Amino acid sequence: MGLFTQSVEVTLSAAGQPLRVTWGGHAWRVCARPVRWYRRTAWWEESARAQRGLGAGLVDEEIWRLQLRLGERDAPRTVHVSHQPQTGRWRLINLPEATAGVPQGERRSA
């Protein structure tokens, strides 16, 4: 399977935790406590030189594991999203459970 990544919109609580994800034209509600961690990125492959003052966030990528539900009776779906604080960009990413149950036609690369 190839890389799966897609832009999504994420609505945050006042505390900065995801509440809702807009993906595929639908608003998915976060139905369980989100889990956040950081993973090391291959910064040397993405940028030849960092801009002065932009050290924080270049090496580590913020990842969230979210349980999403379209409606109250729908089964929850586990997805992973990455957040780039410098740009505010959110991406749905390919991690172990991220593409389980997603029809092949909905899997796209950025």
> Would 110 be classed as within a structural domain?
no
pTM: 0.72
pLDDT digits 0-9 by tens, 94-108: 754 444 544 444 444
Q: Which domain holds residue 67?
A: 5-101
Nearest C-alpha neighbor of 71 from the set 27, 104, 36: 27
Tell me whether residue 107 is in a domain: no
Sequence-separated (6 or more) residues with CB below 8 Å from residue 86: 54, 57
**Residue 109 within any structural domain of the chain:** no
With a cut of 90, say whether residue 90 has pLDDT above it: yes
Position 97 in a domain:
yes
Task: Determine contact, residues 41/60, Cβ cutoff 8 Å.
Answer: yes
DSSP designation for 50: P
Tell me how many domains the chain contains.
1
Q: Examine residue 55 and state whether it is found in any structural domain, yes or no.
A: yes
At residue 16's C-alpha, the angle toward residues 45 and 33, to 5°, is 95
